[in-house]
């Protein structure tokens, strides 16, 4: 088993630039690079004193469950006229993990900070949110097996009003 990174920051940035340019969709990128049984957490999932802070907050145990919550008929994308458009990929950082346990699979962590915009269907007001997604890629399968998504929960709640 190798501990080298399966992707460079430039390669990961290119996925988001493709979405930004309209040459690929979020679904395309997810299907290619996210494991079907990913553990995807959208903060705050309700495990702290604040409780669940947005309708999409939670822990999803599959790519399909995350897609349904965010891109399905009642998901966040449905509240916007054309979904979320990536305005800017702010930064990408890739860091190989350092596993001391031989039984653990080797993972590479990649952090993608991006800026998304759109137009709310209900009010026609602009949508503006910054995101940080932390990917944990399995170095053998080269797919994300764990993702944690950080976002502005107040902006998400406005979309669901």
The residues near 19 (Cβ < 8 Å, ≥ 6 apart) are 25, 26, 29, 86
pLDDT at residue 125, rounded to an integer: 86
Is the pLDDT at 155 greater than 80? The verdict is: yes
Question: How much is the pTM?
Answer: 0.84
| pLDDT band per the 50, 70, 90 thresholds, residue 2 | very low
The residues near 138 (Cβ < 8 Å, ≥ 6 apart) are 6, 35, 105, 106, 107, 144, 145
- What is the percentage of the chain residues whose pLDDT exceeds 70? 86
Rounded distance, CA 115 to CA 117, Å?
A: 7
pLDDT at residue 48, rounded to an integer: 63
87 closest CA partner among 34, 56, 38, 131: 131
More confident: 105 or 127: 127
Cis ω before 44 (30° cut-off from 0): yes
In 34-125 the beta strands, taken as DSSP E runs, fall at: 34-42, 58-60, 85-96, 107-119
What average pLDDT does range 7-18 have in this prediction?
87
pLDDT at residue 1, rounded to an integer: 42
pLDDT in tens, 74-107: 888 777 777 677 877 877 888 776 654 444 557 7
Is 18 within 8 Å of 151 (Cβ atoms)? no
pLDDT in tens, 34-72: 999 999 999 876 666 667 788 888 899 999 999 888 888
Residues in the chain: 161
What average pLDDT does range 145-150 have in this prediction?
94
């Amino acid at each position: 088993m190798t501990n080298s990174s399966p992707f460079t920051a430039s390669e990961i940035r290119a996925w988001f630039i493709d979405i930004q340019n309209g040459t690929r969709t979020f679904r395309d990128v997810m299907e290619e690079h996210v494991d079907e049984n990913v553990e995807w957490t959208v903060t705050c999932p309700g495990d702290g004193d604040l409780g669940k802070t947005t309708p999409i907050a939670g822990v999803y145990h599959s790519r399909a469950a995350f897609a349904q919550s965010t891109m399905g008929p009642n998901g966040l994308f449905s509240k916007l006229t054309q979904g979320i458009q990536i305005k800017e990929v702010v930064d990408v950082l890739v860091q190989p993990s350092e596993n001391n346990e031989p039984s653990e699979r080797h993972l590479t962590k990649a952090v993608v900070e991006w800026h998304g915009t759109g137009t709310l269907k209900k009010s026609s007001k602009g949508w503006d949110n910054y995101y940080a997604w932390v990917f944990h890629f399995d170095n053998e399968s080269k797919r994300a097996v764990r993702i944690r998504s950080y976002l502005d929960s107040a902006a998400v709640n406005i979309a669901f009003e």
